[in-house]
Structure 1
Amino acid sequence: MIGTQLAPKGDTVPLSVHNARPDGARALAEILGRHGVTVHTPARFDAALDDLRSSSSTLLLYDRNGILGEPQVAALMAAADKVVVVSPRLETLAALDGGIRQAGVVPDGFPVLEPGCAQPDAEAAGQVTGQGGFVYDGGTSCYRAAGTAGMLAVSGDGRLAVLGSAAVLGNDKLDELGNAALAIRMLGASPDLVWYLPSLEDVAVSESGKTLDELAPGWARFLGPWLLLVAVAAVVWRGRRHGPLVFEPLPVVVKAVETAEGRARLYQDSRSIGQARDNLRAGLLVRLSGKLRLGPGATAEDTIAAAARLLGRDAAAIRTLIGERPATEARLVAWSQALDTLEKEVMTR
């Protein structure tokens, strides 16, 4: 059964057993519980070590931020009977010392991967989701998209398995292909599973990083007062008044014809023949539709057919005129004049 750590409080941590969102792993934890696996979810490194040492356990490690240092990863590896590491960083992979190396990502053209190896868990599970996964060299490589690198790599002694995709274990993809079968076979071999997701609380334990004070050079302590002095000087300089404010009456009224002429000049300067053509055609169809009382839902074809009936002309000729695509400015002017003539004919009827 699932341990008390699976209380019904939720979170949003990726691959957390308390997370019911698509990127969580609550569904997998519940399935493992039904198969008699007790899932422990320690929040700290020390608690994870205690859980591993108290019984024969499988460890799932998902250190997506690379928080743990080499000594901590080595300690977890030594305490667990079997270790499944999900999408490890290069530093974590090196600390595992399992002869497995990162070899890139799964190509976009391989959304589904075949086992392609003699590893029992992979053979039994069959196809799994490959989209967005990483591939690895070394050990027994399974789910290869191309070459020898695979999304699942298992060490020679079988104690270490590196899975390059969190999606295989997540709620969103768990019911697809053989994702659930692979997850259950890898994580359900022991009666106890330690599901460990290192957090910022483990930074002090790992001692793998330095503080900003340690990284900063010695002269940086004088930088703060100097920047403060420069800021005060800038405030004094820019804060001076340069004369009384000038008030302008608003709003400013701009005639419609001036706006139209201004836009026309912009189109002309930028040689935007296509944009000008589209605007002229759209404006004509809107005005004709209003004149012909076709309503707001009328299409261009409805407007052309109505205009043809009103004028007693062939609809194909009107369609050809309106659908023309002038390629030069001279032709654009001639075309716009033809549209204006057509509009006047409709308006006078």
Structure 2
Amino acid sequence: MTTILEDSTPGTDNAAAEGLPAGQRFRAWFRKHLVWIALGTLLAGLVTFLAINSVSGATDSRRLSARNPAPDGAMAAAEILARHGVSVTPTDTFEDTMDALSAKDEATVLLFDAQGFLDRSQLEEITAAADRVVVVAPRLRTLNGLNQGIRPGGVVPEATQVIEPGCEQEDARAAGRVSAQGSILSGPLVCYPTREDGPGLYAASADGRVIVLGSRELMDNQHLALEGNAALALRTLGNNADLVWYIPGVGDISASNSNPTLNELAPRWLAFAGPWLGLVALLAIAWRGRRMGPLVFEPLPVVVKAVETAEGRARLYQDSRAVGRAANNLRAGTLSRLARHFNLGADTTAEAIVDATARHAEQSIQEVRFVLIDFMPESEGQLVQWAQQIERIEQEATAR
């Protein structure tokens, strides 16, 4: 075995390392530079992490976003439109959307306001500035703000797999049948109805400038390839060379869009009737709330004898076949009377009562204990016989 002695001079280390095989030289070099290797690996990992984050920063995790490659995103539709010459401009705020529309003569706006952030005035501005507005899965607040006669009509039945166009609209006829679940709408022009002459997934205004799609599945990444979903989405969004893809956020809520106060909701006549009603209420309280005098105690109209109460309770026990409950009551009453007769006190035990009873009745303790404590009747006949036994024992013990 070859032993290598370490020296403090670098020349000695190099000379000793040269005499070793290649594998041992590599291991020696690796141990010597282990700290620098670890630092380099950490630095490379950090650079890779930052690079991945910078690439993923271009994506958007919001539903139906043009930059979202996830199943609920719509990057696929946006990429296809871009490859066919449509300039797609994603926007996140109302100001950016209006700026993008002002720079374009004719543009289509895709609006996905899932939370209903935009108010009526903002929707009217977008509708006036755009050549076509395509609204996807809107809330009732958004439909009312559009003011195009489009109203909700229910949902697509779960058993429905595909839906035929059912209308003469050019884009719907070219796309053919689609497959999607979501809301159905009624309006001036309806396509893809779930029943004949009923509401459908596609509704448009009378002039065709406002189109409402009741389902996100018509254009999200997960369902775009089903049936004619892609054809309908691309034809609806690609009619113009410019497309503004707008998904509103919390920052788009108008400052004046606040909930009305109670004073604003109350009718005008309440300002006059309110004080009068308050005065009437005070007078009614003073009238009905005056002191009526002290309470009067009156005797009960019926006096029930104790024996009648006992007989009534006994009949209840008999009707409900409560043999055990009746036996426990009889046992407790007998032991209480015996303890009071022998002046044993309220805190006496059952054993002391049995000893006193057996001594005064001149019977064995085992026999008295079996009758008074241990025995439990199981039928009404046994209950009667046992009641007679404890009564006889009580009479014998108290008679002497």
Question: Same fold by TM-score, threshold 0.5 exceeded?
Answer: yes
Partner letter of residue 13 of structure 1?
Answer: R
- 1:136 aligns with 185
Q: 1:108 to 1:45 in 2, by over 3 A?
A: same
- 2:212 aligns with 162
- 1:192 aligns with 242
- 2:167 aligns with 117
Partner letter of residue 77 of structure 1?
Answer: T
Work out whether 1:92 is the aligned partner of 2:142.
yes
Contact 1:67–1:208 (CA<8 Å) still a contact in 2? no
Runs of 4 or more off by more than 4 Å in structure 1?
none
Q: 1:128 to 1:8 in 2, by over 3 A?
A: farther
Work out whether 1:45 is the aligned partner of 2:89.
no
> Aligned to 2:171, what secondary structure does the other structure show?
helix
Q: 1:206 to 1:21 in 2, by over 3 A?
A: farther
Contact 1:60–1:86 (CA<8 Å) still a contact in 2? yes
- 1:177 aligns with 227
Q: 1:88 to 1:104 in 2, by over 3 A?
A: same
- 1:59 aligns with 109
After superposition, give the CA deviation of every residue in 1:23-67 in whole Å (9 maximum; x if it has no partner): 000010000000100111112101101111221100100100010
Q: 1:206 to 1:66 in 2, by over 3 A?
A: farther
Deviation at 1:70, TM superposition (A): 0.8
- 1:202 aligns with 252
Contact 1:68–1:206 (CA<8 Å) still a contact in 2? no
Could you list the runs of 5+ residues in structure 1 that have no partner in the other structure? 1-5, 213-349
Contact 1:72–1:206 (CA<8 Å) still a contact in 2? no
- 1:231 aligns with none
Work out whether 1:12 is the aligned partner of 2:100.
no
Deviation at 1:206, TM superposition (A): 5.8
Work out whether 1:79 is the aligned partner of 2:129.
yes
Structure 1 distance, partners of 2:86, 2:145, is 28
* Identity rate, percent: 46
Structure 2 distance, partners of 1:8, 1:154, is 36
Between the two proteins, the alignment pairs up a number of residues equal to: 207
Partner letter of residue 229 of structure 2?
Answer: N
Normalised to the residue count of structure 2, the TM-score between the two structures is 0.49
Partner letter of residue 65 of structure 1?
Answer: Q
Work out whether 1:27 is the aligned partner of 2:76.
yes
Kindly indicate whether structure 1 or structure 2 has the higher relative contact order, using CA contacts under 8 Å at least 6 residues apart: 1
Partner letter of residue 9 of structure 1?
Answer: A
Contact 1:83–1:159 (CA<8 Å) still a contact in 2? yes
Structure 2 distance, partners of 1:121, 1:206, is 39
Partner letter of residue 242 of structure 2?
Answer: D
Structure 2 distance, partners of 1:7, 1:28, is 19
Structure 1 distance, partners of 2:257, 2:227, is 39
Question: Aligned Cα RMSD in Å?
Answer: 2.2
Could you list the runs of 5+ residues in structure 2 that have no partner in the other structure? 1-54, 262-400
Deviation at 1:19, TM superposition (A): 0.6
Structure 1 distance, partners of 2:171, 2:57, is 31
Instruction: Report which of the two structures shows the higher radius of gyration computed on alpha carbons.
Output: 2
Deviation at 1:149, TM superposition (A): 0.6
Structure 2 distance, partners of 1:150, 1:98, is 16
